[in-house]
Chains A and B, each alone.
Chain A
């Protein structure tokens, strides 16, 4: 294309398309369409998260509809504490060991309506002959004090709730709150590591 002269000046004019700009209105329309398309894509794409599939809209919804397992976190916390502190002697099934450690499963110490006696035992320990479910236990071992080791009231409450509520062992006593634990802790603080005897417990708990 060397001929730059105007058409009416030159007979050998070769037609060429002039470049005319795209109308502003059309440009805006394209822009708007593109924008809407992107909004649509964004709303349908689940945040472009690889874990979000149809029919879920967002990661939060996927999280929300995860199967709800039938576990109570407090109960599980208690189970963990039991396995840490008590399991060695009272065993995983709460059955204890004949002749050495009395059972917690179906024990009247555990299933007492009032958790106070059990809490006292855990705080300061227990020694001497005792009766569990009417059966006399006179073992050489003694139950150590856990008041210092388990200093978190909530953890101890969860532990006791677990032991008292463990249906697999046949226990079905009420839950215990951190306040109840704290009350017993304040009362037994002075006793320190001196273990209770059954006799001493009866005296201490008499109104």
Chain B
């Protein structure tokens, strides 16, 4: 090797470039993020997990849930609706400005519909702003409401995930494959810990074709006595039993994991992902919920 120095410097340069692109630049972009406090309400975001949920984070990690489940929701675009908070005082003028509104007749009296009134749905930002600008003479107040949209959001999230969501996670378990549904909003979509525990004990109880592994070692079997029944898992009103007819009760780890899953929520809008915080409904999981209650 007669150009050792050049080779070394070249390699160093190549490594330095990728280091700057993949480590340096993100650090520069996100390194200063700190939890923020909403001045009006005094709320802090994100909230540090405590107790059971913190231990559950480790159980999640130990069992490799991130191999099949992601915790990242993307947003494709956004839509707006316009809500009327207050009608103008001059009904004639208001009606001229809003031909879309139909009057409400009650007790022989004709009136504008009660507020808040959803005037337009599914607008682009430009359309929404145009309406807001145009319709002001009657004094009617239009408020713009955001709807994040995208396939991920329709299925799993109320909003997209942003860097702030992971700020207090050690380690961050984004996951890179979606064999199962995204879990970043599971605490909001599936707020019943009993169903989560059932899912962990035997996923096929809730979904016959589930390919999720079962985690029976997070549970213990108990004598079928009355005092044990309080803790025991139930499915469709009946106790879940193992081969020997004994009851199944979650171990502390399972409770911790469930607490962790419940702490995964995206219903709080953040600056980076302004949203409604509306519950996104997942038709599939709703169907299974009904079954198993």
Contact = CB atoms under 8 A, between A and B. Distances in A.
A171 to B, nearest CB: 15
Contacts of B272: 51-53, 62
Most B CB contacts (10 A, CB to CB) among A61, A64, A66, A67 go to A67
B269 interface: yes
B146 interface: yes
Given A54-B75, A62-B274, A67 B145 contact: yes
B29 interface: yes
A61 B145 CA distance: 14
Nearest to B270: A51
Contacts of A67: 145-146, 269, 274-276
B274 A55 contact: no
A19 interface: no
Contacts of A65: 78, 80, 125, 144, 146, 274
A70 interface: yes
B33 interface: yes
A49 B274 CA distance: 16
B163 A50 contact: yes
A77 to B, nearest CB: 15
B135 interface: no
Nearest to A50: B29
Interface string B60-91: 00000000000000111110100001000000
Contacts of B80: 65
B144 A68 contact: yes
Interface residues of A, number: 16
> How big is chain B's contact interface, by range?
20 to 34
Contacts of B269: 67
B1 to A, nearest CB: 15
Interface in B132-169: 143-146, 160, 162-163
B163 A70 contact: no
Interface in A134-178: none
B76 A70 contact: no
Given A65-B125, A70-B85, A53 B146 contact: no
A68 B145 CA distance: 7
A66 B78 contact: no
A53 B271 contact: no
A51 B273 CA distance: 9
A48 interface: yes
A70 B271 contact: no
Interface in A40-66: 48-55, 61-62, 64-66
B77 A53 contact: no
A64 B85 CA distance: 19
Q: Which 6 pairs between the two chains have the least Cβ-Cβ distance?
A: A50-B29, A50-B30, A55-B77, A68-B143, A66-B274, A70-B85
Interface of B: 25, 29-30, 32-33, 74-78, 80, 85, 125, 143-146, 160, 162-163, 269, 271-276
28 contacts: A48-B25, A48-B29, A49-B29, A50-B29, A50-B30, A50-B32, A50-B163, A52-B272, A53-B75, A53-B162, A54-B74, A54-B75, A54-B160, A55-B77, A62-B271, A62-B274, A65-B78, A65-B80, A65-B146, A65-B274, A67-B145, A67-B269, A67-B274, A67-B275, A67-B276, A68-B145, A70-B85, A70-B143
Given A50-B33, A54-B75, 17 more contacts: A49-B29, A50-B29, A50-B163, A53-B160, A53-B162, A54-B76, A55-B78, A61-B125, A65-B125, A65-B274, A66-B274, A67-B146, A67-B275, A67-B276, A68-B145, A70-B85, A70-B143
